[in-house]
């Protein structure tokens, strides 16, 4: 399997053509969450159109680690994530030519001190309540997950049923499955506005014309807040940048997905490894960051040491100072001006990953990054997503802000959103994910981050 780089503007348009005049549901955003929801709706016979401003899976959905993990999840996310494991297995069985291959190699978190081990113990207790196959590991037991190392960790936690999917093959494969069951997908098709009459959705206006629909899902990733604001919905979502590097021709450092406090690594299906910094992100404060400062204060303080602040976000970033924030449905929108959010990988962070790898494993002295990429992670003030219907606009549903852990949970989240949009019970307690938690006076409870 050839794995070179995430989906970008050089990737060919696979889904073009004219738009239908109407549909039951319009999904805004062809990322993993939007496609998973479209798939579940189409399974119920719903007529769905997915509008993607760039390419399917072109932003964070193809730039993440690909981890499908239950380990370390927020308590409210865990049941949905456990359901997602079974859904990933079924999607793999149905995918064309194994393009969507779910490898259950497990996920292991290493503890470098007793404080980290306490957090693992707390999650193991939660996992036991749900019947999850999570086990605590001693320092000696970790050796099977970290071969070719002289380093000693305090202990760890491992969930064997966790795994990984190759991100930039998975989303196109899921999209193909959607098309096979009747979903209409259009790339290079930005939604300029969510249309409404008397407080209810009537459809959307795209750059290629309108689509009538009484239900719309906003699943635009890092761009969701900008479009929501045009619809008079206050969605306090921001974005952080993360860099990932690929290394090849290094000794065996384990077959699974492993992370300690500083470095994360995972083995790809082609035999190489991907590296990332476990808890380090770059943040470009812009107008929205200052507007939402109050609600982000608690989360910001808790992750201060893990966040590097950058000035002057490049033109085209969702919260750039230069980004045009007002437009009408007849004029070019920011989503057309910036088809794909394709930030540059940070070479200093790549060098840091390489040094951390060398410090942990024997035989990696000559390791070098053969490819690197970056993505913008849509995040919420409490590090858990919004999965809800907008109170002020009937027929508008929102699924965004998954805070760096949306890829793995996507099949379950898509099923939850599909049920909500069909006025069915979501099957899980999703009160934690309501949009109103930021305005109804509730205390902010931070999720794992």
Do 252 and 64 meet the contact criterion of CB atoms below 8 Å apart? no
* pLDDT in the model for residue 270: 85
Per the domain annotation, does 196 fall within a domain? yes
The Cα 68–Cα 32 span in angstroms is: 13
Q: Would residue 182 count as lying in a domain?
A: yes
Q: For residue 127, which phi and psi values (nearest 5 degrees)?
A: -60, -40
* Domain assignment of residue 214, yes or no: yes
What pLDDT is attached to residue 1? Answer: 43
Distance CA 61, CA 298 (A): 27
CA dist 282 and 5 (Å) reads: 21
User: 91-104 burial string, b = 16+ CB within 10 Å, else e?
Assistant: bbeebeeebbbbbb
Q: Tell me, what DSSP letter sits at residue 22? A: B
Range of the domain at 377: 25-438
pLDDT score, position 278: 93
Provide the pLDDT for residue 123. 97
| pLDDT one digit per residue (tens) for the chain, 449 residues | 444 568 888 899 999 989 999 999 999 999 999 999 999 999 999 999 999 999 999 999 999 999 999 999 999 999 999 999 999 999 998 887 667 889 999 999 999 999 999 999 999 999 999 999 999 999 999 988 999 998 899 999 999 999 999 998 899 999 999 999 999 999 999 999 999 999 999 999 999 999 999 999 999 999 999 999 999 999 999 999 999 999 988 999 998 999 999 999 999 888 899 999 998 899 999 999 999 999 999 988 888 888 899 988 888 899 999 998 999 999 999 999 999 999 999 999 999 999 999 999 999 988 999 999 999 999 999 999 999 999 999 999 999 999 999 999 999 999 999 999 999 999 999 999 999 999 999 999 999 97
Q: Which CATH number covers residue 154?
A: 3.50.50.60
CA–CA distance, 100 with 166 (Å, rounded to integer): 7
Interhelix angle 78-94/167-180, nearest 10 degrees = 70
The neighbouring-strand residues paired with 191 are: 206
Task: State residue 100's pLDDT score.
Answer: 84
CA distance 444 to 437: 8
Cβ pair 389, 396 in contact under 8 A: yes
Angstrom distance (rounded) from CA 298 to CA 380: 12
| pLDDT score, position 97 | 63
Does residue 181 sit within a domain? yes
CA dihedral 249, 306, 102, 151 (to 10 degrees): 50
Answer yes or no: is 9 within a domain.
no
> Cβ(205)–Cβ(191) under 8 Å?
yes
305: burial class by Cβ within 10 Å (0-12, 13-18, 19+)?
A: exposed
Any bridge partners for residue 241, and if so which? 282, 376
Q: What span, in angstroms and rounded, lies between the C-alpha atoms of 306 and 21?
A: 47
Domain-embedded: residue 133 = yes
- Classify each residue of 374-402 as buried b or exposed e, where b means 16 or more C-beta atoms within 10 Å of its C-beta: bbbbbbbbbbbbbbbbbeebebbbbbbbb
| 246 in any annotated domain | yes
Q: Does 322 reside within a domain? A: yes
Count the domains in the chain.
1
Interatomic CA distance for residues 339 and 352, integer angstroms? 31
Q: How far does CA 226 lie from the centroid of its chain?
A: 18
Nearest to 189 by CA among 61, 45, 34: 34
Cα(14)–Cα(423) distance, integer angstroms: 32
pLDDT at 4: 58
Rounded Cα gap, residues 280 and 245, in angstroms: 14
Residue 423 CA, distance from chain mean position: 25
DSSP 8-state code for residue 103 = E
């Amino acid at each position: 399997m050839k794995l070179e780089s995430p989906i970008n503007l050089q990737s060919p348009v696979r889904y073009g053509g004219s738009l239908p005049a109407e549909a039951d549901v319009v999904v805004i955003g062809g990322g993993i969450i939007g496609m998973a929801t479209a798939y579940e709706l189409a399974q119920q016979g719903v007529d769905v159109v997915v509008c993607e401003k760039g390419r399917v899976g072109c932003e964070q959905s193809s730039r993440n680690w690909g981890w499908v993990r239950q380990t370390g999840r927020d308590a409210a996310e865990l049941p949905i994530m456990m359901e997602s494991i079974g859904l990933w297995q079924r999607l793999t069985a149905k995918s064309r030519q194994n393009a969507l291959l779910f490898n259950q190699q497990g996920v292991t978190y290493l503890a470098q001190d007793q404080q980290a081990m306490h957090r693992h113990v707390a999650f193991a207790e939660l996992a036991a309540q749900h019947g999850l196959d999570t086990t605590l590991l001693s320092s000696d037991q970790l050796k099977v997950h970290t071969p070719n190392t002289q380093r000693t960790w305090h202990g760890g936690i491992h969930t064997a049923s966790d795994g990984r999917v190759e991100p930039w093959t998975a989303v196109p494969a899921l999209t193909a499955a959607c098309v096979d069951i009747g979903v209409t997908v259009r790339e290079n098709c930005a939604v300029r506005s969510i249309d409404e009459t008397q407080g209810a959705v009537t459809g959307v206006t795209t750059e290629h014309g309108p689509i009538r629909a009484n239900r719309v899902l906003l699943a635009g990733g890092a761009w969701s807040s900008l479009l929501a604001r045009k619809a008079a919905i206050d969605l306090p979502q921001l974005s952080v940048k993360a860099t990932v590097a690929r290394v090849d021709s290094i000794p065996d450092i384990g077959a699974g997905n492993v992370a300690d406090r500083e470095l994360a690594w995972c083995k790809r299906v082609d035999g190489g490894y991907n590296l990332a910094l476990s808890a380090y992100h770059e943040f470009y404060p812009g107008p929205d960051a200052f507007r939402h400062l109050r609600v982000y204060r608690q989360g910001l303080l808790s992750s201060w040491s893990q966040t590097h602040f950058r000035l002057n976000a490049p033109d085209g970033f969702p919260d750039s100072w230069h980004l045009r924030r007002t437009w009408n449905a007849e004029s070019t929108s920011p989503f057309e001006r910036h088809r794909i959010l394709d930030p540059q990988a940070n070479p200093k962070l790549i060098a840091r990953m390489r040094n951390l790898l060398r410090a942990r494993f024997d035989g990696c002295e000559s390791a070098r990054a053969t490819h690197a990429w970056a993505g913008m992670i849509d995040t919420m003030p409490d590090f858990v997503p919004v999965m809800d219907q907008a109170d002020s606009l009937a027929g508008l549903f929102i699924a965004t802000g998954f805070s760096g852990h949306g890829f793995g949970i996507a099949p379950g989240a898509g099923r939850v959103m599909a049920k909500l949009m069909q006025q069915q019970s979501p099957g899980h307690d999703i009160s934690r994910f309501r949009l109103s938690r930021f305005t109804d006076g509730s205390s902010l409870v931070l999720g794992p981050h």
